[in-house]
Structures are given as structure tokens and as C-alpha cells.
Amino acid sequence: MCNSFLDSMLWGDGWGYALETLGCPDCEAPGQSGTIRCEECFGGALLCPSCLIRQHQNLPFHQIKVWNGQSFDNTTLKDLSLIIQLSHPNALCPNPKAGPMSFVIFHMNGLHVLNQLLCSCWFPATVLQPQTCMTFQLLHHFHSQTLQVSTSPDGVSGTQSGELAILCPACPHPTVNLPNDWKNVPASSQYLYKVFLAIDANFHQKNALSPLPDPGLGTAFVLSHAAQKDMSPHTILMCSGLSALDHANMKDSKGLQATGVGAVVCACHGFLHPLSIRDLQKGECYCNMDYLVFSSICKNELHQLLFSYNIMCQWWKNLWSHRHDKLPSNLQFNHENVHMDHVIPKFHLHAHMKDFRHTDREVIERNWSAVNPAANSMKKMSEGSCHDTLDDIWEDLNYRKVITMGKYLSLFLPIAFLYPNDIYSRRFTKEVVSCD
């Protein structure tokens, strides 16, 4: 079967169906043999030079090859004497002006050298005797890529971990969207600069053991291969009502390098934080969740944080007295001057043995519903492919949230007018921060 496919590919790279025809199939002129073909036109017919030039009068950026008697060589439409007439579609210019003999044009598929008449339809690299230009299609593509992703000029090696993640534009980011004196605002306004984090695990995102090492890029949301292997698991303690988690620790883990993933998102708007996804080797272990949480906040400069987690009653215990100091030094968080609140999403209150501070921060559960449809496909991927796919999915989710955020937030504008800041601040303090 493999040989059959290879023969077909080599046959297509050669003359293919042209072996069944004599001469140029377009003009069928006596003595005109088809020896030139376009790599981008559908069908790949071998044409004579005149027919190919005529067909490409308005397609000057196609890749052309010519038969040399033994194989196909690259050639250009310039070598075939194509001259581009601009500004006069399907018509001759009454007063043509010759351009440079070798005009260089950058297009989506590479560099082209053409004979042409100059025109304002091109964007020149210089306005004085231009000899190089870029097509607007290429410029639009470059513009969209520049806006959608930030890359290092040094490529992958120069891209820092998490650098490619799209951030939540509505959450507070010092030096980005906060006033210069944000640290000195009165206590009544400090809630404006509070970061809300929702933590959760997803046991649909399993990944099978792979015999070959395949580290992911680690440039957006999923922690790098080295970080994934950085800490050994600890056993998690549960409230008696959280038996489902204990079941997840033990069920269907054979042959898996990951029984699920943990993540941290912006609890207000649902944006995934950079470097906040980590594999769970066997259930929702403290070490995995600690690592991804502090990976997402280790560079935090804000003075107020709120954590929402469905097993907060157990996770918060001994976090600062025992587990935090065991984290790698680059993840240890200076929390002395940071006010931190810890709450439980109210949907999970029924699973706990006693009352606990709660809030409505279930946005991370809604995000899982957008990721889970790809779970079956990712289960058999290598580790790196699985992580890069998760990065790709979450990057798309964050991007779509950015472009729809204006419409989303406008729905809450009437409510904001009903509750002035001083009233909202008191309600916020009463219902979330100081709730027992």
C-alpha cells in the first residue's frame, strides 16, 4: 500500500496525465509541446509558453516549473516574458510607462521578480524609484499576525515561557491598565485592583503513556515538560462529602501519564492564566495544584487576591505553613503584604461538612465544556502534541473572549449604574470577603 501511494506521488510530480496527450492541451497548435506547468493552478496541465503566459496575465504570483528533459526546474513568469499591466484591468494602457526590468515583489508565497508598469496598486519600499514592494495581501496578513500573537525575533529559543498567552484585558495589570498611583488608593476602592482566581481539575483530559519523549513548547498556558516533572505527588485529604475526588484518584489510571489536568482562570471573565495548566498524574494531588497556582501568581504585584476552589477547605490547610516552602524557589510567593481570601464556589457547598465562605465563581466549569470535545482526540497524542493542542484551544478561547468582551460587559452596565461604588463596595465586603 505504501509503495502504491509513493508511486502515485512520484507520478504526479512527473508528467502525470500529460503523458497521454500530445502537444499543448490548451491551444493544440502543431509543433507546440507542453513543457511548462503551474504548481498552483488546479490540474497541473503541461502548457506551451504562450498559453501559460496568457492564463497568468492576472495571476503573476504563481510558482512555475519547466521540464528540462529529465526533471522539472523552477522558473519564473519573468523568464517566460510576462509583463504586468497595472491600473487597467483587462485593457491596454494608452500611455504605458516601463518599470524596472527586475521589480521585486514580496507575496504570501515568496519573492517574485517581474517585468511591470508602475502603479499605485502596490505598496513600494521607497517612493523614490521603487524597485521593491509588498502586496497588500501580504501586508494584511502580516498585520493580523502581529496583532494576534507576539513572537520573539529569536524564534522559539527567544520566547519566554508563557509569553504567547493572551491575557484578560479587564483584570488589573500594573503598567498596563492601572493608574500610576493604584497602590495609594483608599481602602474603599482597593477592591478595584483585586485579582479573582478560580482553580479546578478536569478528569476528562487524559493522556496515554508515550514511549518516546516529546516535550511541548511551553510558551503559553501549559507548563513546560521540565516543570511537569518537577515535583512528586502528595496524597490529598478530603471532606467526607468529596468522595468523587477520591474515586478519581484511583479509577482508570493504568497506562496513563495524565489522568487529567488542573488549571487556573480569571474567575470574573474566564481567561486562562499563563503557565497555569499542569498534568495530574493520579488525581487532584496537592503538589500539582500548588505548582500551577503559584506558577500563575508568582509574578503578581497586586495586594489583594481571592482564590476559589471546590476543595478549598482542605487545600488551604497547611498551604503556607508546610507546602509553600517546598515549592521551587522561583515559585515561592511573598504574601506578607497581600490580603488573600479563599472561598468555595457555592455549587459545591452541599459536598462540605460545614459552612464555608462562598461565591459564584463557576466560570472555569463552563470553560471545560469548550475543551472537553477534544479530549478523545488528545488522549492518544504524545505528551508534547497534547500540550500544544491544549495551548491552541485555550489561546482561541481567550482570543474569542477578547473580541466579544465589549458586548459581554455592556450587559452589566445598567446594573453598575444602579449600584454606586460606595454601595457596591459595602455589598462586596459583606457578601464575599467577610462572609463566614
pLDDT by residue (tens digit) across 207-232?
888 777 777 777 788 887 666 666 54
**Quick one: DSSP state of residue 239?**
-
Alpha helices in 274-430 (DSSP H): 286-297, 312-315, 363-371, 375-379, 383-410, 413-418, 421-428
Cell numbers placing 2: 505504501
The vertex-329 CA angle with 279 and 317, nearest 5°, equals: 65
State the pLDDT at residue 232: 47
> What distance in Å separates the CA atoms of residue 100 and residue 124, rounded to the nearest whole number?
13
Of 413, 361, 404, give the one whose Cα is nearest residue 169: 404
Residue at 20: amino acid letter: E
Q: How high is the mean pLDDT of the chain?
A: 77
Dihedral over alpha carbons 138, 56, 33, 24 (to 10 degrees): 120
Cell numbers placing 140: 494584511
Residue at 391: amino acid letter: D
Q: Which helix (H) or strand (E) holds 8?
A: helix 2-13
Residues 71-118: pLDDT tens digits? 888 888 888 888 777 666 666 666 666 666 778 888 888 888 877 665
Instruction: Please give the model's pTM, rounded to 2 decimal places.
Output: 0.60
Where residue 272 falls among pLDDT bands split at 50, 70, 90?
A: very high
Residue at 153: amino acid letter: P
Least confident of 119-128, 154-163, 341-350: 119-128
> What distance in Å separates the CA atoms of residue 57 and residue 24, rounded to the nearest whole number?
18
State the pLDDT at residue 117: 61
Q: Where are the domains of the chain?
A: 2-89+97-118, 160-433
Residues 378-402: pLDDT tens digits? 888 888 888 888 988 899 899 999 9
3-state secondary structure of 257: strand
Residue 121 CB contacts under 8 Å (≥ 6 apart), including other chains = 86, 87
Quickly tell me which residue has 494602457 as its cell: 93
pLDDT at 161 over 70: yes
Q: Is 42 left (phi over 0), alpha (psi -120 to 50) or beta?
A: beta
Q: Which helix (H) or strand (E) holds 50?
A: helix 49-55
Of 343, 82, 74, give the one whose Cα is nearest residue 194: 343
Q: What contacts 24+ positions apart, CB below 8 Å, involve 60-64?
A: 60/84, 60/105, 60/112, 60/114, 60/116, 61/105, 61/107, 61/108, 61/109, 61/112, 61/135, 62/38, 63/38, 63/39, 63/109, 63/110, 64/36, 64/37, 64/38, 64/39
Of 307, 278, 276, give the one whose Cα is nearest residue 198: 307
**Quick one: DSSP state of residue 321?**
I
Mean per-residue pLDDT, 358-370: 79
> What distance in Å separates the CA atoms of residue 352 and residue 109, rounded to the nearest whole number?
60
Quickly tell me which residue has 498611583 as its cell: 181
Alpha helices in 90-218 (DSSP H): 136-148
Across the beta sheet with 36-38, the strand order is: 36-38, 64-67, 72-75
